[in-house]
Chains A and B, each alone.
Chain A
Amino acid sequence: TQLLEQSPQFLSIQEGENLTVYCNSSSVFSSLQWYRQEPGEGPVLLVTVVTGGEVKKLKRLTFQFGDARKDSSLHITAAQTGDTGLYLCAGGSQGNLIFGKGTKLSVKP
């Protein structure tokens, strides 16, 4: 069974701080997506990474896919209150997605 473990489960920081959240698995995935989800809404796609070692930047967000395609990280620089939400990683497996439980981020002013 393929599983994705996300850490930390909860993170509360002050505005302006940097943070990193992790997504780890013992399985190899063909791709990995990061989503951000607000309460009661659907996940919104942030990025897709498909190549081992790939790094993608989206403004203050930096995503990295591990060389072995088993893990990924999301780094946020100078967090803002608008970054608050649930961050989900999802591994692509035979056409469907396997999700982690998410990291709940709270950025306080």
Chain B
Amino acid sequence: DAGVTQSPTHLIKTRGQQVTLRCSPKSGHDTVSWYQQALGQGPQFIFQYYEEEERQRGNFPDRFSGHQFPNYSSELNVNALLLGDSALYLCASSPPGLAGGPTQYFGPGTRLTVL
């Protein structure tokens, strides 16, 4: 049973560029959440997707956007990258019937470095 997968593993971008990160949820899961984890911090909630729509959003600017596809996979897009966007970006999925909680299963993350 494949768990949550994310790509790419690592990414280096320069300020002002745009980036797209991808996530495939665990088999049977329909809700995908994205988190940003800065060095030495706990993950911070960015947004959550269910039925191809953004259901909840954390305190992140509009430069952060996302999408969910009919197969439940998801993308996170970040425009106009800033140095402070350097972080580990985590995708988590949760099974149907629990309104996106309480338990979420995390992927290995994408390490984004902005120079």
A residues near B (Cβ < 8 Å) are 4, 30-31, 33, 35, 40-45, 48, 50, 88, 90, 92, 94-102
Contacts and interface: CB of A to CB of B under 8 A. Distances in A.
A35 B106 contact: yes
B44 interface: yes
Contacts of A44: 106
B10 to A, nearest CB: 9
B61 interface: no
A42 B107 contact: yes
Interface in B63-115: 88, 90, 92, 99-109, 111
Contacts of A41: 108-109
Nearest to B105: A45
B101 A31 contact: yes
A30 B106 CA distance: 20
Contacts, number: 72
Given A40-B88, A42-B107, A45-B105, A96 B42 contact: no
A95 B88 contact: no
Contact of A48 (B40, B102, B109): B102
Contacts of A101: 40-42
B15 interface: no
Given A31-B101, A42-B107, A43-B106, 14 more contacts: A33-B103, A33-B104, A41-B109, A42-B106, A43-B90, A88-B42, A95-B100, A96-B33, A96-B48, A96-B56, A96-B58, A97-B101, A98-B45, A102-B42
A97 B103 CA distance: 9
A40 B37 CA distance: 10
Contacts of A48: 102-103
A95 B55 contact: yes
A97 B56 contact: no
A94 B108 CA distance: 24
Chain B CB within 10 Å, residue with most, of A50, A94, A101: A94
Contacts of A94: 56, 101
Interface string B26-60: 00000101010000111111001000000110100
B103 A95 contact: no
